[in-house]
Amino acid sequence: MVKFNTVKYSDILHAKKVISSNVIETPLIYDFMLSKKYKANIYFKLENIQRTGSFKIRGALNNILNSKSKISKNGVLAWSSGNHAQGVAEAASIFSIKSTIIMPKDAPQVKILGTRSRGSKIIFYDRNNQNREEIGYEIAKKEQLIIIPPYDHKLTIAGQGTVGLEIVKQMKAFKLIPDNILVPTGGGGLISGSAIAIKENFKDCNIFSVEPKKFDDYARSLKLNKIVKNKSNNKSICDSLLSNKPGMITFNINKFLIKKGVSVNEKQVLEAIRYAYNNLGIVVEPGGAVGLAAILNKKIDLKNSTTVAVLSGSNIDPKIFKKSLTL
């Protein structure tokens, strides 16, 4: 059994029991076209159709349900560019808990509206000149709010790890052993939790982090075996993957379990969004499409493999979606 000081396989099994009644067990679909093209078995895990449009509700629910006794009448607080914000807002609303979200001023409107529609109080900040964690900790202390971290926390990681647990279950149902898993990676919560679950069951499976160009801090950190940062003035359409650096907890898990990191550029991401819509009939946001982009551009060896890519979210800015269709 794979064990770490912070997260164990049993934590992920427990998270599955805790959150299962409030999340979707999303499908794992076979792509006939790409499988034929690359002489492989290509599958996609559809977290883009998860409740709130991304996997983030899993970690949010696991945090809240395991912390309910500590939550005051003032509720919970989180910082996020959008998907974790909506996940926390939705999870809190299920149990009539108040939520406060720290969001960047340049967050996509679809994510701002989604967060607000779920009853959250939103406080905006300038991501280039302000530190969201500092703002959050100050408000949480003043108002006695429980913080729900977006990735670098045991309960968040265990909740996100249920994605990997479902992939294991679905692969076994197909009587297949995955060779490769591609996971969109920002701070590393989804990939670290999923890696623990997958490696517990398929120890020879290669797990790859996938990031946008200029935000490939995970790939560089893994290569150097130490945490490195992105430049603060970098920009990307992949708003859900713009963490400044890997989480300390997630990196200390991932450095043992991830094969390596790969990255894709903006044009490749837009082409992946278009492919998903035209050929799979689904909507995927930029950050959620990076794994598909990596497959389309053969960032890893696919021939004769069984490969799974997680499509992690669907909350796309309409202008970016339109751009992807008119390339």
Identical fold at 9-53+153-325 and 56-147? yes
The full set of domain ranges for the chain reads 9-53+153-325, 56-147
- Which tens digit of pLDDT belongs to each residue from 116-146? 999 999 999 998 889 999 999 999 999 999 9
Q: 53 or 233, which is more confident?
A: 53
The CA distances from residue 220 to 224, 256, 263, 268, in Å, are 6, 15, 10, 20
| Fold exhibited by the domain 9-53+153-325 | Rossmann fold (3.40.50)
Q: What percent of the chain shows pLDDT beyond 70?
A: 98
| Fold exhibited by the domain 56-147 | Rossmann fold (3.40.50)
**What predicted TM-score, i.e. pTM, was given to this entire model?**
0.95
Residue 232 has pLDDT above 90, yes or no: no
The mean pLDDT value of the chain amounts to: 95
Burial classification of residue 304, based on how many CB atoms lie within 10 Å of its CB (0-12 exposed, 13-18 middle, 19 or more buried): exposed
Residue 6 has pLDDT above 90, yes or no: no
Indicate the pLDDT class of residue 5, thresholds 50, 70 and 90.
low
Residue 174 has pLDDT above 70, yes or no: yes
- Which tens digit of pLDDT belongs to each residue from 90-100? 999 999 999 99
